[in-house]
Amino acid sequence: MSQYVNDYTRGVSGGRCDWDGSDPRIKDRQSWHQAEHTIKLGEWIKQQPWSNGEVHLFAFSWGGRVGIWVPGDFRGRTGVFKSVALIWPDCRPVHKIRAGKLHTPTRIWATENDPLSIPKNCTSYYSGTEGMLILSLYPGDTHSWMTGPAFTPYTRWWPTAKVNVRSEYNEAWSKQTFYEWKKWAMNLPR
């Protein structure tokens, strides 16, 4: 497993994985650097004797932003992952990402009005999305909804994004997302 969010937040108490952007460890680190690492990790997994060669990427929030680069023709690497699932990826227009032509089936789950994800903008990062990109949007503006039943809902100002972000557990959406992902990803052609 490759994890990025808690590299910066160190698992802030109460399950809150957010940060104010002041951490010097983030300086000069870009999501495409982390995408390269993710692709190398996927290549390594495919070569292991215990692997069936089918590697799927399932990424949340910042990990979803990292994952945006993976299914496009980014740096010429294709065919590493069988599917890419991005949960609330950061697709704010300020990033102006050009991830290239999609070569891997990709699905994005988010809420329609998530101020941190802005999921409808995710499609602008790619070319050649016909039949390759599915947006699955829930109503509302919650950013993080797969935390767990003991999670205390909160809204917090994110200074780096300059938006208020709502986080709350939604069991129905969590179950539906995992169900839809499994059905979709496992039924993709080899």
Nearest to 140 by CA among 163, 158, 165: 165
Pairing of strands 83-87, 56-60: parallel
- How distant, in Å, are the alpha carbons of 92, 106, 112, 122, 175 from that of 101? 19, 12, 24, 13, 31
pLDDT in tens, 77-92: 677 899 999 999 988 8
Task: State whether residue 91 is helix, strand or coil.
Answer: coil
pLDDT in tens, 123-173: 888 888 788 899 999 999 998 888 888 888 999 888 877 888 899 999 999
Stronger pLDDT, 34 or 125, i.e. the higher one:
125
Nearest to 135 by CA among 150, 153, 117: 117
- What integer pLDDT is reported at residue 24 of this predicted model? 52
Stronger pLDDT, 19 or 81, i.e. the higher one:
81
pTM of the entire predicted model: 0.83
Stronger pLDDT, 15 or 51, i.e. the higher one:
51
For the record, the structure tokens of 89 come out as: 């990826």
- What integer pLDDT is reported at residue 69 of this predicted model? 83
List the domains of the chain with CATH numbers: 5-9+25-186 (3.40.50.1820)
